Amino acid sequence: MPAKDLWSQIQKQTRGRSEDEQLRILRRHLGELHDEWKGPYKDLRDKLRKLVARLEGHEATRSRSGQQDPFHVKSQGDARVVVAGLPNAGKSSLVAALTGAATPVADYPFTTTQPSPGMLPCEGGVLQLVDTPPIVEGLASGQGAGRPLLHLFTSADALAIVVDLSTDVLDSLATILEELTSVSIRPLPGPLATVLQPRGKGGVRFLGKPLGREEEEEARTVLADAHIVNAEVVVRTAFDIDQLRHQVEGELLMPTVLVATHCDSETGEQETLQEMMPGHDILVGQLQQPETLGNVGGALLKVLGYTHIQLLERPAPEAKEETLLLHLASDILRVAERGKISTKRLKGARVWGTSVPRPGQAVRLDHVVDAGDRVFLQS
Ligand SMILES: Nc1nc2c(ncn2[C@@H]2O[C@H](COP(=O)(O)OP(=O)(O)O)[C@@H](O)[C@H]2O)c(=O)[nH]1
Ligand SMILES: [Mg+2]
């Protein structure tokens, strides 16, 4: 088998697997790649050796730390989605249904006492879903799983809030939001469009998509009013003054989807949920039949701000080689990294799509691509 095909096969086999499983698979393949093989096989062997060394490093750290903090969940995959909700809402059922991870499900509350991750492969990426102990009133003052649980929420790239529609939704959601507010989390119906990154020096800088003169002035005023003199404002997809304001006020903007469970009977609860969380995607279905939930992975990728671009094999828009899943506002360098292409000799790219005025335009490494762009990397 050509080295390139073997590499795609290995990627397929390891995707979504735990690190221990990945290590086993990589070691097996390494054993089959003979030392005297040259060219692309040698490159593949080197690549696998590096991956194995990295995973072995993780393994060593894990065993050294011995008794681990169960609330410290190692990040894996492209993004972390923490599944949150009241007791018995269906959090564990959701994670089990989507990832096949073994997590205890039972019809009595507090079955889940520790977070437990599972991996969800979707659309060329893989998401880490983290099942969690339930939210109860007063987490911040040590009730239930307490502060460690709140801290886990703040470590998420997105939240999936599970709500039982057979309960009083107004009440349930109010409790959840209050607990999230205690660590300044503000749910967001979509991806973070404008990011504030405080810096130690350098004044106020604007990065990402260019913004208009008035927008820049508005942003500078908001920052100055809060006495922020050093910061980077990164416009990922669009300039959003409200998002900037919330971040200036110390809020953690958290992309969030809702999952409604126990929706066997028609009540008005789903509408109530939507009214309380305007703009948020609500996934409704039977957890026992995950296919009824629709494309959960797709909804999560959307709220996280992921999109697809096409990598081209030749400088021609129809010469499609590979579809890549990328975060919105990724640049050419990131495209190459994601496509596992060496960035050492990379000079730039030619792009067909909405991020350039002219089809096939030559761009530099810091050019930010748009959803659906076709990219030919030039080295
Ligand atoms: N009827 C119905 N039961 C569900 C649904 N989702 C979860 N359950 C049941 O509710 C109970 C609690 O589920 P679990 O996933 O452990 O909830 P958790 O405490 O949020 O993790 C279990 O008996 C599940 O089988 C649903 O959508 N409909
Ligand atoms: Mg549970």
Pocket test residue of 88, 130, 291 for ligand 1, highest count of atoms within 8 A of CB: 88
Same domain, 178 and 310: no
Q: Is 112 in the pocket of ligand 1 (CB under 6 A)?
A: yes
Tell whether 73 is covered by a domain: no
Range of the domain at 323: 306-378
256 and 210 co-located in one domain: no
State percent of the chain over pLDDT 70.
Answer: 94
- Say if CB 49 and CB 56 are below 8 A apart: no
Answer yes or no: do 169 and 234 share one domain: no
Q: Are residue 170 and residue 260 in the same domain, yes or no?
A: yes
Ligand 1: which residue has its CA nearest to atom 26? 262
Counting the structural domains of the chain, the total is 4
Cα of 114 to ligand 2 centre, how many Å? Answer: 9
**In a mutational test of the pocket of ligand 1, which residue from 161, 287, 293, 296 has the highest number of ligand atoms less than 8 Å from its CB?**
287
Let me know if residue 207 belongs to a domain.
Answer: yes
- Angstrom CA distances, 289 to 93, 285, 301, 337, 358, stand at 10, 8, 21, 37, 47
Instruction: Give residue-wise pLDDT tens across range 226-280.
Output: 999 999 999 988 899 999 999 999 999 999 999 999 987 767 889 999 999 999 9
Which residues are bridge partners to 331 per DSSP? Answer: 368
Question: Is ligand 1 within 6 A of the CB of residue 87?
Answer: yes
- 245 belongs to a structural domain: no
* Cβ of residue 113 lying under 6 Å from some atom of ligand 1: no
Same domain, 107 and 179: yes
Most confident of 18-27, 110-119, 295-304: 295-304
Tell me the whole-structure pTM to 2 decimals.
Answer: 0.79
State whether 202 and 226 are in the same domain. yes
Ligand 1, atom 16, lies closest to the CA of: 105
Lowest mean pLDDT among 38-52, 76-90, 153-167, 222-236: 38-52
- The verdict on 312 and 279 lying in the same domain is no
